[in-house]
Amino acid sequence: MPALDACPLCRSTLPAAAAQCPECGADLRPYRDIAALADRYLKLARELLSRGETGRVHHILAQLPQLSGADNAELAEIRARLALGEGDFHGVEQALAACEPSAAAALSAEVAQRRRDLAKARELYNHGLAAARAGDHNLAARYLQDAAALDPADPNIWGLKLKVDLKCRYFQRCYADLAVLDDLAARPPEFYNLEALLPAIAQPRAG
């Protein structure tokens, strides 16, 4: 069970695994239960973040401040990582102040790298757009493939990528582009029924 270093009521130092405060006699079991619940929530939030389920992480973070056992530094790190995943750099900077120094340093480095990735993705998008306008769709497709890898949450990149992949007759890619645009709730209206016009793509056999 999570350790309590001090009694939540009288703040006396506690011996390891104490069930009762030796100074004020407080029953420590409810506080340990709260700490255990907060610990489970924090672990679940990290797992959900690794799977990209940001909506559920927001729900968990709304509950954690109500638990006195929540680790503020770890909670701040999760808030910062959630903001980073959503491209909210201001939110990351707000949360960094409450993080452990080592976690803050690692997150700051990730923010810097993410900014570089986004800038490169925008550069590649612009190159892809210029190539598409010049009629070199194969070159445009290469640029946009790289741009999407660096910034997979930008619907503008995926929308242009879909148009270019159609021009190149990269039909397998078109299906993938549509799936991402649907996940982003950003499919252009003119492509609502595109699957009906695309050739069927054979799926690889299992095993």
Q: What does the pLDDT look like over 30-74, one tens digit per residue? A: 777 777 777 788 888 888 888 878 788 888 887 776 555 556 888
Asked if residue 4 has pLDDT above 80, the reply is no
Asked if residue 104 has pLDDT above 90, the reply is yes
As a whole number, mean pLDDT of residues 168-183 equals 96
The pair phi, psi for residue 145, each rounded to 5°, is: -60, -45
Q: What does the pLDDT read at residue 40?
A: 83
pLDDT-based confidence at residue 1 (cuts at 50, 70, 90)? very low
Of 156, 165, 162, which Cα lies nearest the Cα of 137? 165
Asked if residue 80 has pLDDT above 70, the reply is yes
Of 93, 84, 144, which Cα lies nearest the Cα of 115? 84
The CATH number for 109-196, chosen from 1.10.3720.10, 1.25.40.10, 3.40.50.970, 1.20.1050.10, is 1.25.40.10
Share of the chain above pLDDT 70, in %: 92
* Low-confidence winner among 40-49, 87-96, 159-168 (lowest mean pLDDT): 40-49
Helix (H, G, I), strand (E, B) or coil at 94: helix
- Could you tell me the two tokens for 86? 């959503």
Cα–Cα dist 27/6, whole Å: 13
Cα–Cα dist 76/93, whole Å: 11
Contact 92, 62 (CB under 8 A): no
Q: What does the pLDDT read at residue 66?
A: 59
Q: At CA 158, angle to CA 152 and CA 162, rounded to 5?
A: 145
pLDDT-based confidence at residue 207 (cuts at 50, 70, 90)? very low
Mean model confidence pLDDT for the chain: 87
Residue ranges per structural domain of the chain? 15-88, 109-196
As a whole number, mean pLDDT of residues 9-32 equals 80
Q: What does the pLDDT look like over 179-205, one tens digit per residue? A: 999 999 999 999 999 999 999 875 444
Cα–Cα dist 64/37, whole Å: 9
Q: Please give the full DSSP string across 108-167, using - where no structure is assigned.
A: HHHHHHHHHHHHHHHHHHHHHHHHHHTT-HHHHHHHHHHHHHH-TT-HHHHHHHHHHHHH
Buried b (16+ CB within 10 A) or exposed e, 28-63: beebbebbebbbebbeebeebbeeeeeeebeebbee
